[in-house]
Amino acid sequence: MKAVIQRVSKASVTIEDKKVANIDIGLLVLLGIVAEDTEEDIKWLVNKIANCRIFNDDNQVMNLSLIDSKGDIIVVSQFTLHASTKKGNRPSYIKAARPDVAIPLYEAFVKSIQLVLGKPVQTGQFGADMKVELVNDGPVTIIMDSKNKA
């Protein structure tokens, strides 16, 4: 499971001219899932994201987590995170999990991070053509991969 985490001062997701998610201070998480991902990957990644100290404290030092800062979060499915660009000019998405595997894992991820944060999590819509807008604060962008946790 791979995630691109962006600290934002605001972010939103729009589908067919309808805004389906909208936050101010918090995180925008783009989440890519492969068929080999498990509940263990979800647990590890949720813990890392919720506790990653990338928000400024009173001294303007990145010392606070999403939990500490009480920020909000939007989670967006993003199968293209697992693109292979080794051959040719057209990326291959063969590593990305098919919807029958990815959707339950995506939904479990959202439920799990919601439980850890103790508040609702906003999302995009799996498989939809989404317009994602954000103001990356910092900019702070971190890539996490549950397969590289050792």
Q: What is the pLDDT of residues 64-103, one digit of tens each?
A: 999 999 999 999 999 999 999 999 999 999 999 999 999 9
Q: pLDDT-based confidence at 149, cuts 50/70/90?
A: confident
Residues linked to residue 134 through DSSP beta bridges, in sequence order: 11
Confidence grade of residue 106 (pLDDT, cut at 50, 70, 90): very high
Could you tell me the residue range of the domain that residue 36 belongs to? 2-148
Give Cα separations from 106 to 17, 22, 136, 139 (angstroms): 24, 19, 23, 26
Whether 14 is catalytic is no
- Give me the pLDDT at residue 114, please: 98
Listed residue (138, 144, 142) closest to 25, CA to CA: 138
Q: Catalytic annotation on 114? A: no
Q: Give 36-97 as a DSSP string.
A: T--HHHHHHHHHHHHH---EE-TTS-EEE-HHHHT-EEEEEE-GGGG-B-SSSSSPB-TTBP
Catalytic residue among 6, 78, 122, 123: 78
Q: Which among 55, 79, 109, 123 is annotated as catalytic?
A: 79
Residues 33/79, Cβ–Cβ less than 8 Å: yes
pTM assigned to the model? 0.95
Tell me if residue 78 is catalytic.
yes
> What would the pLDDT profile of 6-61 be if each residue is shown by its tens digit?
999 999 999 999 999 999 999 999 999 999 999 999 999 999 999 999 999 999 99
Residue of 6, 13, 31, 29 whose CA lies nearest to 137: 6
Find the mean pLDDT for residues 102-117. Answer: 97
Q: Which among 14, 38, 55, 80 is annotated as catalytic?
A: 80
Give the chain's domain count.
Answer: 1
Give the CA angle between residues 117, 123, 127 to the nearest 5°: 145
Longest dimension (CA), the chain: 49
Which distant-in-sequence residues (6+ apart) come within 8 Å of 145 by Cβ? 1, 2, 3
- Could you tell me the two tokens for 50? 């919720």
The CATH number given to whatever domain includes residue 98 is 3.50.80.10
Rounded-to-integer distance, Cα 70 and Cα 66, Å: 6
